[in-house]
Amino acid sequence: MTAPATPPRSGVPPVSELTPLPWTTEELDGLIRTLPAIASARVLRDADGKVREVHVLATTELSPKQIVRTIESALLARFGLRLDHRAISVAQSASARVAEPAPAPTAPAAPAVTVVSAPAPGRGIYFEDVEVRRSRSAGLACTVTLRAGRETYAGEASGVETSRARGELAATAAVRALAPLLADGVVLAFESCTTVSSADREFAFVVVSGRSGRETTILSGSCEVRDSIETAAALAVLDATERWMERGGAR
* Residue closest to 75 by CA, chosen among 47, 98, 56: 56
- 54 near 87, Cβ under 8 Å? yes
Provide the pLDDT for residue 100.
53
Q: Dump pLDDT digits (tens) for 88-123.
A: 988 888 777 765 544 444 444 444 333 333 333 445
Check pLDDT > 70 for residue 195: yes
Q: Which of 10-19, 47-56, 210-219 has the lowest mean pLDDT?
A: 10-19
Provide the pLDDT for residue 214.
84
Amino acid residing at 223: C
Diameter of the chain measured on Cα atoms: 71
Q: Which domains does the chain have, with CATH numbers?
A: 16-92 (3.30.300.30), 125-249 (3.30.160.270)
Q: Dump pLDDT digits (tens) for 134-173.
A: 887 778 999 999 998 889 999 999 998 887 899 999 999 9
pLDDT higher at 27 or 96: 27
